[in-house]
């Protein structure tokens, strides 16, 4: 059980850390609020004040990283969608990449497609995706790992890799 007094004693430190990560008071407050909610829901919060402090700092950091990833994925997704709506011509490489990725996604199992879409495209956290899919968070993590591996296998099996993958492999 979470000791509310310990959380209240440590909250100024959590807030300062979140502000430092976010660079914004409102976003920092939201981050701390979400971290505290996670702690209250968790059954495995450390008992001692120093251990709880370190644990909560990790929770805050991980939540921040998840938010940054979601923001980046949503931004990229929005830019791609805007390009399609505005009719801006994509480069030949981008069109080929898009076709290959769509074909690879279509070849995946429905469970793999769903988890890839929720986490990698929509930027949901594992917990959010687990809630949507009504499965355990660990199930989302293992499905996502297998789905990403299957996606790579599909792309490599096509003997043509998207431009980003080709560039990465040259280095």
Spatial CA neighbour of 1 closest among 43, 33, 29, 38 = 43
Q: Where in the chain is the domain with CATH 1.10.1740?
A: 1-88
Q: Could you report the per-residue pLDDT of 77-136, keeping only the tens digit for each? A: 666 556 555 554 555 556 777 777 778 888 888 888 888 888 887 778 888 889 888 999
The distance of Cα 165 from the centroid of its chain, to the nearest Å, equals 20
What is the distance between the alpha carbons of residues 34 and 60, in angstroms, rounded to a whole number?
8
Q: Where in the chain is the domain with CATH 1.10.10.10?
A: 90-171
Report which of residues 87 and 69 the model is more confident about.
69
Contacting residues for 65 by C-beta, under 8 A, at least 6 apart: none
Spatial CA neighbour of 121 closest among 56, 171, 73, 168 = 73
The pLDDT of residue 156 is above 60: yes
How many beta carbons lie within 10 A of that of residue 152, not counting itself? 13
The yes or no reply on domain 1-88 and CATH 3.30.70 is no
Give the global pTM: 0.49
**90-171 topology per CATH:** Arc Repressor Mutant, subunit A (1.10.10)
Q: Is 98 exposed, middle or buried (0-12, 13-18, 19+ CB in 10 A)?
A: middle
Average pLDDT, the chain: 79
């Amino acid at each position: 059980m979470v000791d509310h007094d310990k959380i209240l004693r440590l909250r100024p430190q959590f807030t300062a850390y979140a502000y430092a990560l976010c660079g914004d008071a409102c976003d920092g407050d939201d981050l701390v609020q979400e971290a505290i909610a996670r702690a209250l829901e968790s059954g495995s919060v450390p008992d001692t004040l120093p251990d709880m402090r370190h644990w909560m700092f990790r929770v805050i950091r991980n939540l921040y990283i998840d938010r940054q990833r979601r923001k980046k994925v949503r931004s990229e997704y929005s830019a791609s969608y805007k390009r399609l709506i505005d009719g801006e011509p994509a480069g030949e490489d981008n069109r080929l990449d898009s076709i290959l990725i769509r074909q690879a996604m279509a070849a995946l199992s429905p469970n793999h497609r769903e988890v890839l879409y929720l986490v990698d495209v929509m930027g949901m956290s594992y917990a959010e995706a687990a809630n949507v899919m009504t499965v355990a968070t660990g199930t989302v993590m293992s499905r996502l790992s297998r789905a990403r591996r299957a996606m790579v296998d599909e792309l490599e099996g096509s003997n043509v890799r998207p431009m980003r993958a080709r560039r990465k492999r040259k280095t």
